[in-house]
Structure formats: structure tokens, C-alpha cells
């Protein structure tokens, strides 16, 4: 293989690659800063404060986002995309779509208690996320659709099933955050069981799925102490 000249045209792709990596780091820093502000309930934070938290210049912000609202939307969907990808790693080998959906839902409910950042992001934008084409929703819609096709669910409209599941998840997440003394596993499984019956399963079928062992997700859990309580004002 020929070695390109140091200053010749062949050296340019490396420069472009370094530039792209730098841009990705800048975008990631902005998204992480926005996720932190959203989790703390600071939705009115000015762009300047976000860029300062991300340690990037104001000009860099507009190289990636046209507005704070666009950044916040990316912050939410990126976080839930990452969470969805993690869950897919646990359930990708499950052949039964109803079981895959159930496992994902039960794991998501548990993680909403133990990953308060994602919980805060979900609650801040829940209504817009339920029918989103990114994050958890498309994965849930995929499994609901397949379960209907295989006659595991009797509900005829996959999007209606998704809306019901999303609404119940927002309610469940709210309950777990506002009532930290509740038993997480029992609460999540009861909600999941009721959801499965709403989607058309019998009580016996729903209970059987909700009693299946779950994979160990302890490595995915954050410390709740890292994020402020939703019932207390965030520190200035």
C-alpha cells in the first residue's frame, strides 16, 4: 500500500475525521448538559448557561442546534434511544413478541425508579414521546404489532395499544418517583399485568408472563442521590 504524502490530498480525510470527532464530542457535551438541566427541572435555563455547563462556546451551540427546544428534544430522545438499545440487548433473543414486550416493560418500569435522569426526561416530555419515532415507543410498537399479528394480543390497533402502554408508563413513573417507599417490583409487575389484560391477554396469561425471571440489570442502575427529588426545588 502506498504511503500518502504528509501534505497531499490523501491526508485530508484524517483531518475531516478529526473534525467530525470533535463535532461529535461538542454535540455530546451539549446533550449531556441539557439532560442534566431537564432532570433538575430547569427548563427555562438560558442557552448561555447550557454552553457554560457543557464547556463549549455559544457559536458551537448553533453549529448543532437551531434552538434550545431542538437541543432539549435531542437530549430526551438520545437518552431514551440509548435506554431502548440497552433493553433490546436483553430481549433481542426472545421469540415471543408478547414476552419481549412484557420483559421490556417490566425492565423499563424498574429502571425508571433506579435511573432518575431518564425518569425526569420521560416525565418532562411524556406526552410528546408516546407517539415518537425514536426512543422507547418504536420498540414497543414493534412488539405490540408483532404480538397482534401472532394473536398474542387481541387489541386490533397497534397505535392504540402503544398509547395505552405509554400513558400507563408515565403514570407508573410518576407514582414511583412520588412514592419512593412503594415496592418497585410489585408495583411495576401489577401495572404490567393490567396492561397485558387491556391489550387482550387473559389474567392467567398476563400473570404467567409477569412471573418470568428477569435478567440482572443492577449494572444499569444509577444512584438516586445523583438527582434532585421531584418534590423539592432544584438548587440554584
Q: To the nearest 10°, the Cα dihedral for 132, 48, 25, 22?
A: 130
Rounded distance between C-alpha atoms, residue 73 and residue 70, angstroms: 5
Length of the chain equals 236
159-195: pLDDT as tens digits: 999 999 999 999 999 999 899 999 999 999 999 999 9
pLDDT at 16: 57
Average pLDDT over residues 118-145: 85
Which residue in 227, 226, 221 sits closest to 107, CA to CA? Answer: 221
- Between 89 and 6, the more confident residue is 89
Conformation bin of residue 41: beta by default, left when phi > 0, alpha when psi is -120 to 50? left
Q: What's the pTM value of the predicted model, to 2 decimals?
A: 0.74
pLDDT at 222: 60
Domains of the chain, start order: 12-66 (1.10.10), 69-216 (1.10.357.10)
The answer to whether the CB of 182 falls within 8 A of the CB of 109 is no
- Between 101 and 5, the more confident residue is 101
Amino acid at each position: 500500500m502506498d504511503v500518502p504524502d504528509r501534505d497531499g490530498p490523501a491526508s485530508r480525510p484524517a483531518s475531516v475525521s478529526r473534525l467530525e470527532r470533535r463535532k461529535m464530542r461538542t454535540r455530546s457535551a451539549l446533550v449531556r448538559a441539557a439532560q442534566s438541566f431537564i432532570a433538575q427541572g430547569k427548563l427555562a435555563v438560558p442557552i448561555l448557561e447550557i454552553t457554560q455547563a457543557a464547556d463549549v462556546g455559544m457559536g458551537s451551540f448553533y453549529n448543532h442546534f437551531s434552538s434550545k427546544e431542538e437541543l432539549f428534544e435531542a437530549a430526551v430522545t438520545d437518552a431514551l434511544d440509548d435506554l431502548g438499545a440497552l433493553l433490546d440487548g436483553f430481549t433481542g433473543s426472545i421469540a415471543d413478541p408478547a414476552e419481549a414486550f412484557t420483559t421490556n416493560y417490566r425492565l423499563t418500569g424498574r429502571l425508571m425508579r433506579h435511573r432518575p435522569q431518564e425518569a425526569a426526561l420521560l416525565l418532562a416530555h411524556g406526552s410528546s414521546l408516546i407517539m415518537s419515532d425514536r426512543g422507547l415507543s418504536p420498540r414497543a410498537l414493534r412488539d405490540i404489532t408483532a404480538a397482534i399479528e401472532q394473536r398474542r394480543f387481541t387489541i386490533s390497533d397497534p397505535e392504540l395499544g402503544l398509547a395505552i402502554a405509554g400513558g400507563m408508563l408515565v403514570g407508573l413513573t410518576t407514582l414511583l418517583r412520588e412514592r419512593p417507599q412503594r415496592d418497585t417490583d410489585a408495583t411495576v409487575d401489577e401495572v404490567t399485568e393490567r396492561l397485558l389484560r387491556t391489550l387482550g391477554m387473559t389474567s392467567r396469561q398476563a400473570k404467567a408472563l409477569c412471573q418470568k425471571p428477569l435478567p440482572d440489570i443492577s449494572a444499569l442502575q444509577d444512584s438516586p442521590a445523583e438527582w434532585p427529588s421531584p418534590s423539592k426545588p432544584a438548587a440554584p
